[in-house]
Amino acid sequence: MTKSYLSLELIDKSFERGGTRTEVLKQVSLSVDKGEFISIIGHSGCGKSTLLNIVAGLTQATTGVVLLDGRVADEPGPDRAVVFQNHSLLPWLTVYENVRLGVDKVFSATKSKAERHDWTMRNLELVQMAHAAEKRPSEISGGMKQRVGIARALAMEPKVLLLDEPFGALDALTRAHLQDQVMQIHAELGNTVLMITHDVDEAVLLSDRIVMMTNGPSARIGEILDVPLARPRRRIELAGDRTYLKCREAVLKFLYERHRFVEAAE
Amino acid sequence: MTVTNLKLKQDAMPRPAARVIAFTRSARVGSGRPLTARLVAAATNIVPLLVTLALILVAWQIACSAPDSSLPSPTRVLEESWELIAHPFYVGQGVDQGLFWHIAASLQRVAIGYALAAVVGIALGALVGQSQLAMRGLDPIFQVLRTVPPLAWLPLSLAAFQDGNPSAIFVIFITAIWPIIINTAVGIRNIPQDYQNVAKVLRLNALEYFAKIMLPAAAPYIFTGLRIGIGLSWLAIVAAEMLIGGVGIGFFIWDAWNSSLISDIIVALIYVGIVGFLLDRLIALVGRIVTRGTATA
Q: In what order do the strands lie in the sheet with A71-72?
A: A20-32, A6-17, A63-68, A71-72
Identify which of B58, B4, B133 has the alpha carbon closest to the alpha carbon of residue A235.
B4
> In terms of domains, do A174 and A236 share one?
yes
Q: Which of A6-20, A90-104, B112-126 has the lowest mean pLDDT?
A: A6-20
Closest C-alpha among B177, B167, B174 to residue B118:
B177
- Residue range A229-247: mean pLDDT, rounded: 90
Provide mean pLDDT across the span B268-289: 93
Which amino acid appears at position B116 of this protein? Answer: L
Q: Are residues A201 and A234 in the same domain?
A: yes
Whole-number Å distance between alpha carbons of A247 and A242 = 9
Backbone φ, ψ for residue A74 (5° rounding): -120, 5
Q: Are residues A180 and A254 in the same domain?
A: yes
Same domain for A162 and A147?
no
Nearest-by-Cβ selection for B202 from A78, A141, A236: A78
Binned at pLDDT 50, 70 and 90, residue A3 comes out as: low
Residue-level pLDDT at A46: 82
Residue A222 is inside which H or E element, if any? Answer: strand A221-226
Chain B residue nearest residue A235, CA to CA: B1
Q: How many CB atoms lie within 10 A of CB B111?
A: 14
Show me where the domains of chain B are located.
2-79, 82-290
Determine the 3-state secondary structure of A9 from DSSP: strand
CA–CA gap between residue A92 and residue B212 (Å, rounded): 9
Mean model confidence pLDDT for chain B: 85
Mean pLDDT of A191-219: 91
Q: Are residues A44 and A13 in the same domain?
A: yes
Q: ipTM > 0.90?
A: no
pLDDT tens column, B53-105: 999 999 999 998 888 888 998 988 888 888 888 888 888 887 788 889 999 99
Note the pLDDT of residue B89. 86
pLDDT band at A174, cuts 50/70/90?
confident
Percentage of chain B modeled with pLDDT above 70: 87
Domain identity same for A127 and A195: no
Residue A132's domain comprises: 94-151
> What residues of chain B have any CB closer than 8 angstroms to a CB in chain A?
1, 4, 7-8, 11-12, 15-16, 19, 192, 194-195, 197-198, 200-204, 208, 212-213, 216-217, 219, 291, 293-297
Q: Is residue A226 part of a domain?
A: yes
Nearest to B197 among A84, A176, A236 (CB): A84
| Angstrom distance (rounded) from CA A156 to CA A107 | 8
Q: Give the confidence band of A262 by pLDDT, cuts at 50, 70, 90.
A: low
From the candidate CATH numbers 3.50.50.60, 1.10.579.10, 3.30.750.24, 1.10.3720.10, the one assigned to the domain spanning B82-290: 1.10.3720.10
Q: Is the dihedral of CA B230, B232, B237, B238 positive or negative?
A: positive
Contact B201 A138 (CB under 8 A): no
Domain boundary among A151, A168, A188: A151
- pLDDT for B245 equals 84
Q: With 80 as the cut, is the pLDDT of residue A129 above it? A: yes
Is A86 inside a domain boundary? no
- Assess contact for A81 and A158: CB atoms under 8 A: yes
Q: Could A173 and B293 be called an inter-chain contact, meaning their C-beta atoms sit closer than 8 Å?
A: no
With respect to residue A122, please indicate whether it lies within any of the assigned structural domains: yes
Same domain, A145 and A210: no
| Residue of A105, A136, A150, A157 to mutate when probing chain B, most B C-beta within 10 A | A105
B183's CB contacts (< 8 A; 6+ apart) are B125, B221, B222, B224, B225, B228
Nearest to A43 by CA among A266, A261, A264, A202: A261
pLDDT of residue B294: 59
Q: Is the Cβ pair A88, B194 closer than 8 Å?
A: yes
pLDDT at B198 exceeding the cut of 50? yes
Average pLDDT over every residue of B121-129 = 94
Do residues A170 and A62 share a domain? yes
- B20 versus A168: the higher-pLDDT residue is A168
Residue A261 near residue A46, CB atoms below 8 Å? no
A203 in a structural domain:
yes
Report residue A87's pLDDT band, with 50, 70 and 90 as the boundaries. Answer: confident
Domain count, chain A: 2
Average pLDDT over chain A, rounded to an integer: 89
Q: Answer whether A91 sits within 8 Å of B219, measured CB to CB.
A: no
Cα distances (Å, whole numbers) of residue A145 to A216, A253, B57:
32, 34, 56
Q: Give residue A149's pLDDT.
A: 93
The whole-model pTM stands at 0.76
The answer to whether A138 contacts B197, with C-beta atoms less than 8 Å apart, is: no
Q: How do strand A160-164 and strand A192-197 relate by DSSP bridges? A: parallel
Q: Are residues A117 and A182 in the same domain?
A: no
**Looking at residue B291, what is its pLDDT?**
80
Q: What percent of chain B stands above pLDDT 90?
A: 59
The answer on A247 and A168 residing in a single domain is yes
User: Is pLDDT larger for residue A239 or for residue A2?
Assistant: A239
Residue B2 has pLDDT above 50, yes or no: no
